[in-house]
Each structure stands twice: as C-alpha cells, then as structure tokens.
Amino acid sequence: MVDTTSPVAASSPKSQKSDTPPAADAAPIEVGDDNPADDGDSALGTEASSSSASISSSILDYRMSGGWRAPNDALQNEVMDIHHHLLTIASEDKLHHAPIKKDIEKALDVGTGTGIWAIDFADEFSATEVIGTDLSPIQPSWVPPNLKFEIEDCTQPWTFRPDTFDYIHMRYLVGSVKDWSSLFEQAFRACKPGGWVESFEGVPVMQSDDGSVPDDSAMAGWGKTFIEAGRKLGRSFTVVDDNMQEEGMTAAGLVDIESRIFKIPIGRWPKDQNYRNIGLFAQEVLEGDVEGHVLHVADLAWGWSKEQVTVYCAKLRKEIRSGKHHPYYRIKIVYGRKPE
C-alpha cells in the first residue's frame, strides 16, 4: 500500500496560526442545506452551467479574443486565468483596493504570470502606462495599447528608476521569494512619493469554521505539504500568517497601511449564492491541475513518488466532492503609501 500519510499525520506548523485579529471579511460562511456529493468529472457540473455560466463564458471569451495559445504549460496557464477571475469576484469585483486615482500615469504588475490582471487593469485605466513583469514570457501578444510585458526577476535588483510608478501591484508571489523585506524595499524605491504598493497573497491551508476539515484528512495535508516544501526551499508559504506583508511594508517606509482578509470556499457547500459560485470555480482551479500543483512540492517536502502523489490527489478529490466537508482558504490584501 502506498503511504501518503506523512503530511496528514504531521503536526500543524506553528506559523499557521495568524496573529492578525479576525476581520469582518473573514466572518464564518454559512453552510447550505442542499450540499449533495459530486461524483462528476468536473467541479462545475450542472449548477455552474446555469448560475456561473456567465463567468465561465467571460473567461473563454477573453482567451479566444486574444487568440493566445500558451507556449509551455497551457493547462496551468488556463487554471491561472480562472483563478484570477474567482479572486476578482471574491475581492468585491475589484482589481485593486489601494485608493489610487483614475489619472495615474504609470503602474507596475510584479509577477504578472499570464498577464490577465495587467490586461484587465490596462483596460480599466486606459490612460495609464502599465508594465507587467515576470520570469516567463507566457503572456499573450494581443494586449491593450497601454500595456507591455518585460522579463524581470523581482527577487533581483529591479531595473526601474527610483520614483517611477504611481501604483505597484504584487500578487501570489508566495513560494517564490526568499527575502520579502528586500522585495518591499525595491517596491518602495520604484514607487513615486504619494504612490501606492499593494500586496495580494494567499494561505495554502485548507481549513473550516465547523471542524469539517480533520487534521488527518488530505485537505489538511495540502497546507502542510506546501509549508514544509517552502521551509526546505527557503521560500516561505506562510507570508500571510507571519505578517510579512505588513512588516515588510512598514520596514521599507510605507505608511497608511491597510489590510483586508477574504475567505475562498472550495466546493458548492456555501448557502450564499455568490460564495457558492466562488467555491465552484475554486474547486475547478484545484482539480484542474491538482497533480501539477502537488507533484514538485510533495517530492521536496516528503520525497513522494509520482504514484504516491496520484493516490493523494485521488483522496483529496474524493473529500472535496463528498459534500461532507466545508473547506476554505484565506487571501490577504495589504496596501501602503509612500510618503510625499
């Protein structure tokens, strides 16, 4: 029998407990009465074809209008695009929370990935020059005229002149950065006086408000696996719960720092229809490339083989689809201003 109990049996890392006080955004999510088990191959299923079809259609329309086919891992890139849409919906349909003005001149998207956030932002701020940076040139060629992409490693010294950008956006760099203090110092330097820096990061821990994610479950093992892999790599996955965003911004010199916490349900279990839509897409993101998410980190964390990863992923899917569990993960948005 394949042993896939290592991360599940491991004790939860101390850093999983946040020092951040509970926020109104993070209030308990009410569980729906109609929460049937899902044995289908797709997380979206029939329900999504009605209540969430418009969201799915907008994602597909975007991809077709760009005429883009990713040159490397197309599946992972598609998952990233869907993830962007669900995160936007979950954070009140906002691309930013920092109080930036409509007439800003220059904006930077650090770790732009597929470029989808930068594209949406450039569409909304059509008079703003937008630059998206990433290590991998996987962005589409069809983009708004005010947007360009550049290859840049955000963990190395930035090549931008000081006081260049009115707004700097950084999202989901967790697991990629060794020195978060240095990252925020670089952002502070590149930001104009009076400009804003915004950091958007997630917690890779599946939890519940009602005890339905037991410590010996595959769901609980998910976060432990990522956190252990990050520890061994020296690239933390506990950025949110260790308050690295606020501390890094404060140390860099940013002021007027504010934060928001949001919950992202996984699955169709929430009673609220908006939360349920988010949960359906979160499940689709998770199941869309679950092996791709886990394979490398499970090898680093526990030395698992591909067979062990396959068994673990099957157990995770079964738990998520059972309707018996009510998992969610948290995202945290922190923004601060550079003094004038």
Domains and CATH numbers, the chain: 38-337 (3.40.50.150)
Lowest mean pLDDT among 28-37, 255-264, 320-329: 28-37
**CA–CA separation, 283 and 316 (whole Å):** 11
What pLDDT does 27 receive? 82
Residue 39: pLDDT band with limits 50, 70, 90:
low
The pTM (predicted TM-score) of the whole model is 0.83
**CA–CA separation, 124 and 128 (whole Å):** 9
Indicate if the pLDDT at residue 199 is higher than 80.
yes
Please give the residue that has the higher pLDDT: either 73 or 23: 73
What pLDDT does 33 receive? 78
Indicate if the pLDDT at residue 46 is higher than 50.
no
The most confident of the ranges 8-17, 68-77, 97-106 is 97-106
**CA–CA separation, 338 and 316 (whole Å):** 43
Give me the residue label for tokens 């673990």. 312
Segment 139-147 shows an average pLDDT of 91
CB atoms near residue 145 (< 10 Å): 7
What pLDDT does 6 receive? 42
**CA–CA separation, 265 and 280 (whole Å):** 8
**CA–CA separation, 233 and 283 (whole Å):** 27
- Average pLDDT taken over every residue of the chain: 83
Please give the residue that has the higher pLDDT: either 117 or 295: 117
In 3D, which of 105, 101, 98, 65 has the Cα closest to residue 81?
65
Task: For residue range 82-130, list pLDDT tens digits in order.
Answer: 889 889 998 889 999 999 999 999 999 999 988 999 999 999 999 999 9
**CA–CA separation, 39 and 46 (whole Å):** 12
Give me the residue label for tokens 């919950």. 263
Indicate if the pLDDT at residue 24 is higher than 90.
no
Lowest mean pLDDT among 206-210, 245-249, 293-297: 293-297
Residue 61: pLDDT band with limits 50, 70, 90:
very low
In three-state form (DSSP H/G/I as H, E/B as E, the rest C), the secondary structure along the chain is CCCCCHHHHCCCCHHHCCCCCCCHHHCCCCECCCCCCCCCCCCCHHHHHHHCHHHHHHHHHHHHHHCCCCCCCHHHHHHHHHHHHHHHHHCCCCCCCCCCCCCCCEEEEECCCCCHHHHHHHHHCCCCEEEEEECCCCCCCCCCCCEEEEECCCCCCCCCCCCCEEEEEEECCCCCCCCHHHHHHHHHHHEEEEEEEEEEEECCCCECCCCCCCCCCHHHHHHHHHHHHHHHHCCCCCCCCCCHHHHHHHHHCCEEEEEEEEEEECCCCECCHHHHHHHHHHHHHHHHCHHHHHHHHHHHHHCCCHHHHHHHHHHHHHHHHCCCCCCEEEEEEEEEECCC
- Of the chain, the percentage scoring pLDDT greater than 90 comes to 65
Task: Tell me the residue type at 9.
Answer: A
What pLDDT does 140 receive? 83
